[in-house]
Structures are given as structure tokens and as C-alpha cells.
């Protein structure tokens, strides 16, 4: 009988990538991925620990999965509940105490061990956890990817040595690590062969990627890597995320000028607009330094879309500090943004700071910032109404006959067409725009030309 695997993913793009790789590894054991929990022999949650809200989701989710497990048991079916990801790394064995239904737990650097762990569990029915930072890379043990998606992720760098004072990532993902050029190129080629037209290169600090060229002679940075990846035939678009501001090199900025396949978009989180807060956050740049980098990107590629993450209500953030965050957002005019209330995380230095901000203040600041950011996003999108822009179609829309894709500037775009457009890059005339998406019509003249 065919065995099935259901995966639910929380958190960042790296977790989405990891889930794809977990599916690759379990496919070798005969598990096929499904969207239907009831038919799944393995129910797997890939978790995130970045904010309290994200981590809390685990407990309610495990409860829900356990109900399914019990129902399946009445049909005589065994079900394995596996938890993976950053919460496992952060909590270690404690995770079993709080969640009795979990059978196996595996951290983000150990999931290549899952096949072995599953075999062991099926034999002895012992709960197991693997949450070390192994001396060897998980990538050496994972099979080549069979994942196929038009727009897909490829992890090139993992971990973080920056230790921003609020952040759990250095503890959950470990120290910085760059995959080798040949390993990345091999995976990129496989993804393109499986149908990828767009690859998003991923890293917690993606622009810290570094490696040696094929001759093992010269040092390469992310700009050089993008150049190599851009040579792959059939690959149309390249993106990368997330970048750390002070590590941006001129070579990377130049890549935006010179490499057509590199999309005009940069996610460059500033987090806060006050130098005092940035210092307390242990971010290694000033507001002026950040703005200088933005200016360089805009000079190299005047149409580049810029996005950011923001944290409001960091310990000690005054009204005046927060006003500076609003001012910086106003100045940069972001195309997209993600903003969060500061969430104290166990084990981080900021969680021990005395001057924590009241929840009501955080809430009010977040509402004000989000209002501004949403207006900017809407204004950015509205500028495209009446223009024709190339869209890479990736999925079906919500309505029948509707297709969804992305502009070079990462705007979600819908059009209607009788036949599937998935995998094609087509010119679309934009007819309307909201803060979250664009709508348009295909241009038949160009299509038939
Ligand atoms: N490496 C990336 C960010 C990874 S985490 C960078 O340095 O920019 C994604 C985002 O979550 C962060 O940019 C930050 O805005 C937010 N974040 C991280 N820890 C947080 C916390 N404790 N409270 C609120 N937001 C947080
Ligand atoms: Fe977290 Fe800072 Fe590292 Fe980003 S750079 S992952 S925010 S510690
Ligand atoms: Fe969350 Fe881990 Fe990503 S904590 S944001 S899933 S690196």
C-alpha cells in the first residue's frame, strides 16, 4: 500500500525549503506527500520559534493532529507524529513533556537523520529526538531533490553569527555555514530540470555567502554566485533573501546592474529607525549607513523595489525613537514590508532588559507603522496600473479560469485565461491594483507575435 506524508510548515522560507527536503528524504522510504491529513501515515509539523505566537501554535496543532491519529487508529491505521524545526532545537527534550502525542522530534540541522529515526521508531516504538548541531552537513546526506515548482527555494547559506539581541536564530540554526559552489549549482540544475523557472537563493544572512570558485582558487561572494547561477539555461529569474545591511558588497549591487535574470527586488530589513535602538539590538549599522546602501542600489537599478522587516516596541524604545522609524519608512518608500511587535524570547539578551515596553504601546505603534507601510505598498502597486509588465505564472487563482503569478517586483498578479499559464512568463497589462495584488489582462498581440 502507498504510504503518505503530510507536512505543515510554519515560519520563514528556509522552513519551506527544509520541508521540501524532508519530503525528498522520506520519498526514498516510499512516503508520498499529501494535502489530506486523514490519509497520512506521517503527520509532520515544521515549526518556528521566532516570536512567542509562532512557537505557541505548535501545542494546538499537535492536539489537532492527535485527534486525527486517534480516528485513524479506530480504522486500524498507525500514524506517526513528527515535529521538526526551530522549536525542537530551542526546547530539546522538554518538547515531549509538553506534548505527549509527539513521537519523533528533529532539529533543523538533523532532519537528514529522519529516515533512520523512523525505521528505529517503527521497530522499537521509542520516542526519539535529534537536535545536535552535527559536525557534518545534512546536505551531504540528503538525496538530490525531486521537488518541482515553477518558483522554488534553494538554501545556499544557513545559520547566523550576528546575535541580534532579540533573535533566536543563532541558537536554533547554529553558526554561519555556506554551501559549496558545486553543491549549489548541482541542486539549481536539478530544480530547473524539474521545471523551476525562478530560484530564490536562501540564507539567514544570504549575502554572507562565500565560497571558492571551481578551481578552488579564488574567493567568491553572492554576486559571483548569482552570475554562475544565471548561466543555467531554462532558468529565467533569480532572487535572494534575506540580506544583512552592513554586509552588502559593491559586487552584489553591481550584479543588479549587470545580470538580467536577477530581479529588481531587495529585502533589506532595517528593523528600527533609531541608532540608539539599533545599537541595543546589536545591529551592526546605523540609519545613515543603511540609507547609503539603499541609495547605491537605487543608483545601480533605479526601478529596484525595496522591502524591509520592522520591530516595534523593542526594550527602551521611546516615542521619539519610534517617530524615527516612521520617518525612515516615509523616506525610503518601501514596496513591501513585514512588521512585528517585539516578542521577548527565552535565552536572548533583550528578554532580560529591564525597560520592556507595555503591550498597549507596542500595539499602538504597530498599528501606526502598518498603516503607513500599507499605504506605501498600495501607492507602489497603483503606479503599475496601465503599464504592461512580465508576469511569471506559478499557480491557479482562487476562481476557476484565474491564474496567479509574480511581476519582477514581487507583486502578486491575477489574470483570467481559459488554459493554464503556469510556468510561462507573459506580458500583462495591469488594470487594477490593491495593497496586496495586481489584476490585469494578457496582451494577445504580443502573445501571438
Ligand atoms: N536574518 C534576517 C531575519 C530573520 S527573522 C535579518 O537579520 O534581517 C525575520 C524577522 O523576524 C526579523 O527580521 C525581525 O524583524 C523579526 N523578529 C526576529 N526576532 C523577533 C522578536 N524577538 N520579536 C519580534 N520580531 C522578531
Ligand atoms: Fe536573527 Fe539578527 Fe541573525 Fe537576522 S541577523 S537571523 S535577526 S540574529
Ligand atoms: Fe522561524 Fe527558524 Fe525561520 S525560528 S523564522 S523557522 S529560522
CA 389 to mean position of chain CA atoms: 25
Contact indicator for 209, 157 with CB cutoff of 8 Å = yes
DSSP 262: B
The CB of 7 under 6 Å from ligand 2? The reply is no
User: Longest C-alpha distance within the chain, in Å?
Assistant: 66
As a residue count, the chain comes to 449
| Grid-cell match 549587470, residue found | 258
* Angle formed by the axes of helices 319-332 and 287-300, nearest 10°: 10
Q: Which ligand is closest in space to the CA of residue 48?
A: 3
The CB of 164 under 6 Å from ligand 2? The reply is yes
Question: Residue 20: which H helix or E strand, with range?
Answer: helix 13-27
| CA pair distance 64, 50, nearest whole angstrom | 22
Q: For ligand 1, what atom is nearest to the CA of residue 167?
A: 19
Q: What is the structure's pLDDT at 390? A: 97
Residues with CB under 6 A from ligand 3: 11-12, 14-15, 48-50, 85-86, 168-169, 172-173
| CA pair distance 380, 445, nearest whole angstrom | 27
CA of 347 to the centre of ligand 3 (A): 15
CA of 401 to the centre of ligand 3 (A): 35
Give the mutation target among 162, 272, 348, 351 for probing the ligand 2 site: most ligand atoms within 8 A of CB. Answer: 162
The CB of 214 under 6 Å from ligand 2? The reply is no
Q: What is the structure's pLDDT at 96? A: 93
Contact indicator for 3, 73 with CB cutoff of 8 Å = no
CA 166 to mean position of chain CA atoms: 19
Q: What is the structure's pLDDT at 445? A: 52
| CA pair distance 260, 230, nearest whole angstrom | 9
Q: What is the structure's pLDDT at 401? A: 93
Answer whether 0.85 is exceeded by the pTM. Answer: yes
Q: What is the structure's pLDDT at 136? A: 80
Q: What is the structure's pLDDT at 318? A: 98
Residues with CB under 6 A from ligand 1: 50-51, 166-167, 169, 204-205, 242, 244, 269, 271, 309, 311, 340, 342-343, 345
| pLDDT tens track, the chain, 449 positions | 789 999 999 999 999 999 999 999 999 999 999 999 999 999 999 999 999 987 788 888 999 999 999 999 999 999 999 999 999 999 999 999 988 899 999 999 999 999 999 999 999 988 999 998 877 889 988 989 988 999 999 999 999 999 999 999 999 999 999 999 999 999 999 999 999 999 999 999 999 999 999 999 999 999 999 999 999 999 999 999 999 999 999 999 999 999 999 999 999 999 999 999 999 999 999 999 999 999 999 999 999 999 999 999 999 999 999 999 999 999 999 999 999 999 999 999 999 999 999 999 999 999 999 999 999 999 999 999 999 999 999 999 989 999 999 999 999 999 999 999 999 999 999 999 999 999 999 987 555 54
Does the bond joining 242 to the residue before it have cis omega, within 30 degrees of 0?
yes
Give the mutation target among 85, 164, 204, 206 for probing the ligand 3 site: most ligand atoms within 8 A of CB. Answer: 85
What structural domains does the chain harbor?
3-130 (3.40.50.12160), 144-263 (3.30.750.210), 265-381 (3.30.750.200), 388-447 (2.40.50.140)
Other C-beta atoms lying within 10 Å of the C-beta of residue 347:
10
Query: H/E/C letters for each residue in 116-150?
Result: HHHHHHHHHCCCEEECCCCCCCHHHCCCCCCCCCC
Amino acid at each position: 500500500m502507498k504510504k503518505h506524508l503530510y507536512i505543515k510548515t510554519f515560519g520563514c522560507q528556509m522552513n519551506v525549503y527544509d520541508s521540501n527536503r524532508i519530503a525528498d528524504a522520506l520519498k526514498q522510504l516510499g512516503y508520498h506527500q499529501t494535502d489530506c491529513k486523514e490519509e497520512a501515515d506521517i503527520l509532520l509539523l515544521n515549526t518556528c520559534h521566532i516570536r512567542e505566537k509562532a512557537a505557541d501554535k505548535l501545542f494546538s496543532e499537535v492536539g489537532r493532529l492527535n485527534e486525527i491519529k486517534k480516528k485513524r487508529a479506530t480504522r486500524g491505521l498507525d500514524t506517526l507524529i513528527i515535529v521538526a524545526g526551530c522549536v525542537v532545537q530551542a526546547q530539546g527534550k522538554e518538547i515531549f513533556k509538553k506534548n505527549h502525542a509527539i513521537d519523533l522530534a528533529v532539529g533543523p540541522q538533523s532532519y537528514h537523520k529522519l529516515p533512520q529515526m523512523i525505521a528505529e521508531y517503527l521497530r522499537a516504538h521509542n520516542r526519539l529526538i535529534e537536535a545536535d548541531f552535527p559536525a557534518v552537513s545534512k546536505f551531504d546526506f540528503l538525496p538530490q531533490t525531486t521537488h518541482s515548482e515553477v518558483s522554488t527555494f534553494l538554501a545556499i547559506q544557513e545559520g547566523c553569527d550576528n546575535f541580534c539581541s532579540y533573535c533566536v536564530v543563532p541558537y536554533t540554526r547554529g553558526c554561519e555555514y555556506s554551501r559549496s559552489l558545486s553543491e549549489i549549482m548541482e541542486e539549481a540544475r536539478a530544480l530547473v530540470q524539474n521545471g523551476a523557472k525562478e530560484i530564490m537563493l536562501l540564507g539567514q544572512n544570504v549575502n554572507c555567502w562565500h565560497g571558492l570558485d571551481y578551481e578552488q582558487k579564488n574567493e567568491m561572494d553572492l554576486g559571483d554566485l548569482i552570475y554562475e547561477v544565471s548561466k543555467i539555461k531554462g532558468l529565467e529569474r533569480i532572487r535572494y533573501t534575506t540580506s544583512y545591511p552592513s554586509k552588502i558588497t559593491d559586487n552584489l549591487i553591481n550584479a543588479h546592474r549587470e545580470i538580467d535574470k536577477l530581479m529588481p527586488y531587495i529585502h533589506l530589513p532595517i528593523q528600527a529607525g533609531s541608532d540608539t535602538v539599533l545599537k541595543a539590538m546589536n545591529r551592526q549599522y546605523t540609519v545613515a549607513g543603511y540609507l547609503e546602501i539603499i541609495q547605491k542600489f537605487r543608483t545601480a537599478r533605479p526601478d529596484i523595489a525595496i522591502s524591509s522587516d520592522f520591530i516595534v516596541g523593542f526594550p527602551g524604545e521611546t516615542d521619539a525613537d519610534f517617530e524615527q522609524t516612521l520617518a525612515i519608512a516615509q523616506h525610503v518608500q518601501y514596496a513591501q514590508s513585514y512588521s512585528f511587535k517585539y516578542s521577548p524570547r527565552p535565552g536572548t539578551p533583550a528578554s532580560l532588559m529591564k525597560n520592556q515596553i507595555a503591550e498597549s504601546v507596542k500595539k499602538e505603534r504597530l498599528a501606526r507603522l502598518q498603516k503607513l507601510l500599507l499605504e506605501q505598498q498600495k501607492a507602489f502597486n497603483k503606479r503599475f496600473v496601465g503599464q504592461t509588465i512580465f508576469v511569471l505564472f506559478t499557480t491557479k487563482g482562487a476562481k476557476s479560469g484565474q491564474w496567479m503569478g509574480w511581476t519582477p517586483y514581487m507583486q502578486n498578479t491575477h489574470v483570467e485565461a481559459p488554459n493554464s499559464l503556469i510556468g510561462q512568463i507573459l506580458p500583462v497589462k495591469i488594470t487594477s491594483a490593491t495593497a496586496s495584488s495586481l489584476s490585469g489582462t494578457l496582451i494577445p498581440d504580443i502573445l501571438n507575435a
